[in-house]
Amino acid sequence: MRKLIIIVVVLLILGGGGAAAWFFYFSKTMGEEAEEEEIVEPEPEGPPVYVEFNPMQFPVLGEDGVEQMVTLVIALQVPDDSAGDEVIAMAPRLNDAFMVQLYGALDARTVMLSNGMIDVSSLKVRLVEAADGVLGTGVVQDALVQMISQRQL
């Protein structure tokens, strides 16, 4: 009787292990097939949406302190209204990311040209990179620099 119980328990353990392996194997292969059949979302129709931000001011530091003040007004281009709502909801974090990114770039003079003027194309790249860091890649399509004001001190 004891041997029969041990045999039944061993068969149940082996059967359970086999059933679990079968289940995980087929669920994994089904998941790979689902990944292969990616759902491609259609491109949104209509014009892109621009989300404007409040003006931002940055000091440009030199050897003797603040050399100039830079004021920027930007807007982010997103594909649709839902992405625009996401950008609006994350606006405080985006402002912080822009301040960190641009203050460091202006201080290191990586955005500046030799004559002291800001390179708008590299500025736009840095803004999109900062937005991608907060929102994820692909949410922000482009950055529109609406105004740049540089004031020598």
Q: What is the mean pLDDT of residues 95-104?
A: 85
Do 65 and 122 share a structural domain? yes
Question: Whole-structure pTM over 0.85, yes or no?
Answer: no
Q: How many domains, the chain?
A: 2
CATH code at position 104: 3.30.479
More confident of the two residues 72 and 23: 72
For the cut 80, the answer to whether the pLDDT of residue 10 exceeds it is yes
CA dist., res. 99 & res. 103, Å (int): 6
For the cut 70, the answer to whether the pLDDT of residue 68 exceeds it is yes
More confident of the two residues 25 and 151: 151
Do 69 and 109 share a structural domain? yes
- Separation in Å, CA 78 to CA 5, 16, 51, 128: 67, 51, 8, 11
The residue range of the domain holding 114 is 49-152
Do 134 and 72 share a structural domain? yes
Do 21 and 63 share a structural domain? no
Q: Are 144 and 77 in contact (CB under 8 A)?
A: yes
CA dist., res. 25 & res. 19, Å (int): 10
Q: What is the mean pLDDT of residues 5-20?
A: 82
Do 56 and 35 share a structural domain? no
Q: What is the tens place of the pLDDT at every residue in 103-133?
A: 777 666 665 655 677 888 888 888 899 999 9
| pLDDT class of 93 with cuts at 50, 70, 90 | very high
